[in-house]
């Protein structure tokens, strides 16, 4: 039985859920609307998903909002997305703060306008002390970029004598990535019917469970989130071990 809006999944709940919010353009195209209309409609799905994660007891939610490849989209759509991002920061951050949610924005901010960068920093500062759900928004983010920027920091630390190369291991390297200090994603959801991760958190998702659903992002909400978490709870995570070892 699928989870209803108010039903809390019993059993294993992922600590960290990552979502590739896909299908906004196709949702709009079906309705003969401009692409940015789909992105605007998707804001409601973001709200529902945040609420659902809080209700289910998820600790961390990471949303792929704008990839480093999305700059290739039509200029009008990109401009509309930037305006929507600005508007969402104005309207939503105080609500997040009231509910104890901590906002982090991950990605390369240098390409954004100075005004948008200021709003990002202010939003993070406002919510920095909150102890509820950690909400990561990936904007101008790419998994390969994340690994490269971490490698640059490692190299700089070695040059400055702060780190010996022989001491470097996976755990130490992880400390230089954008999600350092947070649990790795347990579950990655992708809407829109595509079945790929599109350069999202490729360092962090080595053992993440993948869940693909056909609904477009503006149609995603608490019910679909419940279905994804229910699927996750039914799986056996082995991390390289055998089924017998895990079940022992």
Catalogue the active-site residues. Answer: 22, 70
Q: How far apart are CA 165 and CA 153, in angstroms?
A: 12
CA atoms within 13 A on the CB side of 79: 4
* Strand pairing report for 187-190 and 60-67: unpaired
Q: What are phi and psi of 17, to 5 degrees?
A: -110, 130
Tell which residue, 135, 103, 132, 133, has the closest CA to residue 120.
103
CB-based contacts of 205: which residues, under 8 Å, 6+ apart? 18, 184, 185, 188, 197
- Is 127 strand, coil or helix? helix
Determine the Cα–Cα distance for residues 51 and 182; give it in Å rounded to an integer: 20
Two tokens, residue 47: 């709200």
Distance CA 18, CA 200 (A): 9
């Amino acid at each position: 039985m699928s989870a209803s809006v108010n039903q809390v999944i019993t059993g294993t709940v992922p600590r960290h859920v990552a979502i590739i919010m896909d299908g906004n353009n196709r949702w709009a195209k079906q309705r003969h609307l401009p692409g940015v209309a789909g992105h605007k409609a998707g804001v409601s799905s973001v709200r529902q998903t945040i609420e659902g994660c809080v209700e289910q007891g998820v600790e961390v939610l990471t949303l792929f909002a704008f990839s480093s490849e999305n700059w290739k989209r039509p200029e009008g759509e990109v401009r509309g997305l930037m305006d929507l991002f600005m508007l969402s920061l104005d309207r939503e951050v105080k609500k997040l703060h009231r509910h104890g949610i901590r906002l982090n924005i991950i990605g390369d901010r240098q390409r954004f306008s100075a005004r948008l960068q200021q709003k990002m920093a202010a939003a993070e500062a406002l919510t920095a002390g909150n102890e509820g759900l950690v909400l990561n928004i990936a904007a101008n983010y790419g998994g390969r970029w994340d690994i490269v920027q971490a490698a640059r920091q490692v190299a700089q630390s070695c040059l400055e004598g702060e780190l010996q190369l022989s001491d470097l291991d996976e755990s130490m390297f992880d400390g230089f990535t954008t999600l350092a200090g947070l649990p790795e994603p347990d579950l990655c959801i992708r809407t829109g019917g595509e079945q790929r991760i599109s350069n999202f958190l490729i360092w962090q998702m080595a053992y993440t469970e993948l869940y693909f659903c056909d609904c477009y992002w503006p149609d995603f909400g608490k019910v679909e989130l419940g279905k994804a978490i229910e699927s996750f709870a039914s799986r056996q995570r082995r991390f390289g071990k055998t089924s017998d070892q895990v079940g022992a």
